[in-house]
A = this chain, B = another copy of it.
Amino acid sequence: MSLDKKDQQLLTLLQSNARTSVSELATTVSLSDTPCLRRIKKLEASKVISGYHAALNPRALGLNVLVYAFVRLSQNSVSAANMFEEQVEKLNHVLECSVISGSYDYLLKIIAADLESYESFVKHKLGSINCIANIESTVVLKQTFSKKQLPL
């Protein structure tokens, strides 16, 4: 899939605001509505655009704590990994799960109401997955920024 200048502009605009109307997008990129819409549909069909999502303000929902948790499993078997990944995906407070290089196996991005509920979450929810050897939590003291824009 090759992206020309106009495709890139459209992607930038849609990443910034997914609800921009096609006619406004078309005007901005100097196209008329139909070819503009055709491009967007093509970007969706080719999975360059994977979806459109409302971003919520965690604070407004009472979610004030963000933590990166490093996890090491007690066994390096495929079945332990699969079971861990399956279990952890069910936990709504875990927003992201990555297999990483280095001395830990996984990096989890976890959100919680406060440090107390995070502690409780680690103890009762994460802790109940029995193939975990140990967990190291890195608390985010402040999010300097978070971009919704990929470099093109």
Contacts and interface: CB of A to CB of B under 8 A. Distances in A.
Contacts of A99: 140-144
Interface in A60-90: 60-61, 63, 66, 68, 85, 88-89
Interface residues of A, number: 59
Given A47-B60, A100-B68, A107-B138, A93 B151 contact: yes
Copies in the complex: 2
A54 B18 contact: yes
Nearest to A113: B151
A88 B53 CA distance: 26
A144 B86 CA distance: 9
A98 B17 contact: no
